[in-house]
């Protein structure tokens, strides 16, 4: 079954529009996925997401496996029904969280053993278990178990992680039941290893590809070089998802390099902590200069926040510790990101 169709191709770059076909609807690309780690985009009701034309969200298999657990999701009839979202969902395998959150971990050829960051309980993620978790969640798009490394890492460690990722990807594919399973390209900051990862995943034959291990502390130029190296190797008729990258200026740059899909916690995390993205750049609402500023967060924005509330009021909410401040800024940021992607698609066309 064809899951992706390229639409318009820019003349001056590798930017392109496309359509991603999933069991819960078609996603226009380039797209941005707000992250709902625990099955919710923090502070937002699903109605807010729908009203702001969010096409697809990203959730996390690691977190949902630990809490509330697979039995609850199974009894609910899958993740879509449990959270009440009837549009496409992508689940990350949790590989990054195992390596970034778990207190103690041990990696071998079979998988990774780790202690939960919640209660210290011991768990072992094998490719088969990760596939089983996502089979139970039943999202539209799934990710295999991969090994993530911090930057910088030695070539030998990066090669070992690549070998694990390839092996685990094969096993995840064999255990997958339904949905769309992407392969994840690893290889750290070594372009030849990135290309090797691409070739090995192409042999396994995935319908789409994610690029992992970017924006992990490496210099921006190295990120760009690695993305360019990967895009050169991947087939043009399959979607490319850049994992965990979300600053607006980076999205614009990487769309030009040929990336179709993005996910990141930035719009919701920054909104909760008092930062708004605007047409004029970032705005830190807690700053004293906004105490008597009765203009919208962004005069050029038509979101619910900007058409109903002022900077002075939202600053007051943050100063008073009222959760509504986080709700309103996150809503604005999500609207900003959806409009950014719409404008990018329009510009490419």
Active site residue ranges:
92, 263
Are 85 and 201 found together in one domain?
A: yes
Distance, in Å, from the CA atom of 188 to the CA atom of 194, rounded to the nearest integer, reads: 7
Last residue of a domain, one of 246, 264, 282: 264
Q: Could you list the pLDDT tens digit for every one of the 349 residues in the chain?
A: 799 999 999 999 999 999 999 999 999 999 999 999 999 999 999 999 999 999 999 999 999 999 999 999 999 999 999 999 999 999 999 888 877 777 678 999 999 998 888 999 999 999 999 999 999 999 999 999 999 888 999 999 999 999 999 999 999 999 999 999 999 999 999 999 999 999 999 999 999 999 999 999 999 999 999 999 999 999 999 999 999 999 999 999 999 999 999 999 999 999 999 999 999 999 999 999 999 999 999 999 999 999 999 999 999 999 999 999 999 999 999 999 999 999 999 999 9
Q: What's the farthest any 2 CA atoms get from each other in the chain?
A: 61
In this structure, what token pair is assigned to residue 175? Answer: 């255990």
SS3 179: coil
Q: What is the DSSP letter of 35?
A: B
345, 17 in Cβ contact below 8 A? Answer: yes
The pLDDT of residue 270 is: 98
Sheet of 4-9, strands arranged across = 4-9, 16-22, 25-29
Instruction: Give the CATH number for residue 203.
Output: 3.20.20.105
- 317 lies in the same domain as 217: no
Instruction: Mark whether 207 and 93 lie in a shared domain.
Output: yes
Predicted local confidence at residue 159, as pLDDT: 98
Same domain, 248 and 292: no
Tell whether 10 and 58 lie within a shared domain. yes
Residues 133, 253: one domain?
A: yes
| Spatial separation of the C-alpha atoms in residues 36 and 23, rounded to whole Å | 19
Cα end-to-end span (Å), the chain: 26
User: Beta strand 89-92 with 141-142: parallel, antiparallel or unpaired?
Assistant: parallel
Q: Are residues 54 and 176 in the same domain?
A: yes
In Å, how far from its chain's centre is CA 173?
Answer: 21
13 with 56, same domain?
yes
Last residue of a domain, one of 237, 264, 291: 264
Number of domains the chain is built from: 2
Other CB atoms within a 10 A radius of the CB of residue 1 amount to 5
Calculate the CA dihedral of residues 205, 1, 77, 122 and round it to 10 degrees: 0
Give the per-residue pLDDT at 177. 97
Q: Do 146 and 227 sit in the same domain of this protein?
A: yes
Handedness of CA 146, 71, 64, 103 (dihedral sign): negative
By residue range, what is the domain housing residue 21? Answer: 4-264
Q: Are residues 197 and 341 in the same domain?
A: no
Q: Are residue 89 and residue 237 in the same domain, yes or no?
A: yes
- On whether both 230 and 87 belong to a single domain, the answer is yes
Last residue of a domain, one of 214, 247, 264: 264
């Amino acid at each position: 079954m064809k899951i992706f169709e390229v639409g318009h191709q820019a003349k001056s770059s590798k930017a392109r529009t496309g359509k991603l076909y999933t069991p819960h609807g078609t996603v226009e690309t380039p797209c941005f996925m707000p992250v709902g780690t625990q099955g919710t985009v923090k502070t937002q009701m699903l109605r807010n997401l729908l009203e702001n034309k969010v096409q697809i969200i990203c959730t996390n298999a690691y977190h949902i496996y630990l809490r509330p657990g697979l039995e609850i999701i199974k009894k609910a009839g899958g993740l879509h029904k449990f959270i009440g979202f009837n549009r496409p969902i992508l689940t990350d395998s949790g590989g990054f969280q195992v390596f970034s959150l778990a207190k103690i971990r041990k990696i071998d050829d079979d998988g990774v053993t780790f202690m939960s960051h919640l209660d210290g309980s011991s768990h072992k993620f094998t490719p088969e278990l990760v596939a089983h978790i996502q089979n139970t969640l039943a999202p539209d798009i799934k990710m295999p178990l991969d090994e993530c490394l911090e930057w910088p890492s030695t070539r030998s460690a990066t090669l070992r992680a690549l070998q694990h990722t390839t092996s685990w990807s094969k096993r995840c594919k064999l255990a997958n039941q339904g949905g769309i399973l992407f392969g994840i390209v690893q290889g750290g900051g070594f372009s030849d290893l990135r290309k090797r990862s691409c070739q090995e995943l192409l042999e396994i034959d995935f319908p789409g590809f994610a690029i992992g291990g970017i924006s992990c502390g490496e210099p921006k130029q190295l990120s760009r070089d690695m993305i360019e190296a990967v895009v050169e190797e991947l087939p043009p008729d399959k979607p490319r998802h850049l994992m965990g990258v979300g600053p607006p200026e980076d999205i614009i740059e990487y769309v030009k390099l040929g990336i179709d899909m993005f996910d990141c916690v930035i719009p919701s995390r920054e909104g909760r902590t008092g930062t708004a993205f605007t047409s004029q750049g970032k705005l830190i609402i807690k700053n004293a200069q906004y105490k008597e500023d009765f203009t919208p967060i962004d005069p050029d924005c038509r979101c619910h926040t900007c058409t109903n509330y002022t900077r002075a009021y939202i600053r007051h909410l943050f100063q008073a510790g009222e959760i509504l401040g986080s709700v309103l800024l996150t809503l604005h940021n999500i609207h900003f990101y959806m409009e950014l992607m719409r404008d990018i698609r329009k510009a490419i066309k």
